[in-house]
Structure 1
Amino acid sequence: MDSVGEVTQLVLRERQSRDRGWYTRMAACYSADSHIRMSWFTGSGAEFTARTREMAGRGDIAVHRLGPPTVHVVGDRALAELPLIIEWRIEVNGVEADLASSCRSQYRTRRDPDGVWRIVAITSIYEKDTLTPVLPGTTLHLDTAELAHYRPSYRFLSWFLNRQGYPLDGDDLGDDQPERVAEQYRSEFAWLHQTPTDPAA
């Protein structure tokens, strides 16, 4: 398998392991110096695995519908972008609902000295989300004034996670802030093209 194939399988395996509760496999996807930034979490890959296990233990379980990733490889570094939809089945004031959050996750990956590709960083960029009743004809009753405080790129996701006790600071990357997103892309490709001897590597 070539490098593009190995990196593709790495990022897909990381998401599959999280959804299936295969935490040993999930932890093995990250480098020791990894940094993960998502809506509800910022920290190392090891910490992310532990917090994911705790989240599942509370019954807060999402699944990820994945699109094909794009992969750029330069030497022992690769940058992958994985489009996905985070899906939650939740209850809103007694009414069953589906929350779907569309985003794309950027994966910095590195081939370590042992020849294994591992994830160095994940950063998510949020696009939009929807909240719909499961049963046709039922109505969701939400406080529109409360929802107005949240950004449109991840409004319902923010509302739900805050309600579940995972406070969000509202500073995540989203398509409602295109300048920050453009800077993120510049930063990712700058990292990709650094030489292996760069002290920031």
Structure 2
Amino acid sequence: MNDIAEISELVARERLYRVRHNPAIADCYYPDATVATSWQSGSIDTFLNQEPAEVDPRFSIVGSVSTPVVHQNGERAYVELPTNTRMRMMVKGVQMEIESFRRLIYYVEKREQDWKISKMISINESDNLYPVVPGTHLDVDPKELEKFRPSYQFLAYVRLAAGGSISQELLGIDRPDDIKKLYQQAEQWLLEKNL
């Protein structure tokens, strides 16, 4: 298997293991890896051993990924992986499904024999919120949504409704300067190995 295929398989496997709650996900990451998502930012342990407030264990997470784009330089690469995740949950007594669109940025390295993830960063792109049962609805005051960023407004809404918290400073496509800076940092990291 060539490097691009191996890296692509790695990030696809990580996503598959994540939605299935498969403990083998840990093997996709280096022990010193960091992960920044909508609900945590820190070591790989915080990502693997916690769940966001809105996750209801009665419902499975359903996810799909698009083809990854791999930017490789020797034994380093960063990967762009568009994802779509759907989760069911109870919101104010109504069964709802949130659909989130994100772009994941993986930093991957080949430190010895295998490619593994050393960092993962989530970029929020858009989201939707739908009732699951036809004929039911959730009354949401549009003014209540105005305080949330458009790239993840419904995620923020359901997280707060579940008693959790969420930063208004997350990476999102509604702040293009932040995204531009992220890609500049990824390109710089990619080149550092050969400097």
CA contact (8 A) 2:14 2:25 kept: yes
Instruction: From 78, 98, 118, give the equivalent of 1:120.
Output: 118
CA contact (8 A) 2:91 2:162 kept: no
Take 1:136 and 1:58, find their aligned partners in 2: how far apart are those partners?
Answer: 22
Take 1:173 and 1:59, find their aligned partners in 2: how far apart are those partners?
Answer: 29
What amino acid is the match of 2:82? P
Partner of 1:159: 157
| Superposition pairs of residues 16-55 of structure 1, within 5 angstroms | 16-23=16-23, 25-52=24-51
Partner of 2:4: 4
Partner of 1:193: 191
Name structure 1 gaps, 5 residues minimum. Answer: none
Take 1:58 and 1:19, find their aligned partners in 2: how far apart are those partners?
Answer: 12
Q: CA RMSD in A?
A: 2.2
What amino acid is the match of 1:33? D
How far apart are 1:59 and its partner, in Å?
A: 4.6
Q: CA offsets, 1:28-54, max 9 Å, x none?
A: 111122110000011111321111499
Take 2:147 and 2:84, find their aligned partners in 1: how far apart are those partners?
Answer: 23
| Superposition pairs of residues 141-180 of structure 1, within 5 angstroms | 141-180=139-178
Moved over 4 A (4+): 52-61
Take 2:72 and 2:52, find their aligned partners in 1: how far apart are those partners?
Answer: 31
Structure having the higher helix fraction is 1
Q: Relative to structure 2, which stretch is displaced further, 130-139 or 80-89?
A: 130-139
Identity of aligned residues (%): 33
Take 2:55 and 2:70, find their aligned partners in 1: how far apart are those partners?
Answer: 30
Name structure 2 gaps, 5 residues minimum. Answer: none
CA contact (8 A) 2:97 2:132 kept: yes
The alpha-carbon distance between structure 1 residues 56 and 128, as it changes in their structure 2 partners (threshold 3 A), is closer
Take 2:163 and 2:191, find their aligned partners in 1: how far apart are those partners?
Answer: 39
How far apart are 1:20 and its partner, in Å?
A: 1.1
What amino acid is the match of 2:66? G
Asked if 1:87 corresponds to 2:114, the answer is no
Take 1:144 and 1:123, find their aligned partners in 2: how far apart are those partners?
Answer: 30
DSSP-derived class of the 2:178 partner: helix
CA contact (8 A) 1:35 1:42 kept: yes
Take 2:85 and 2:44, find their aligned partners in 1: how far apart are those partners?
Answer: 19
How far apart are 1:72 and its partner, in Å?
A: 1.3
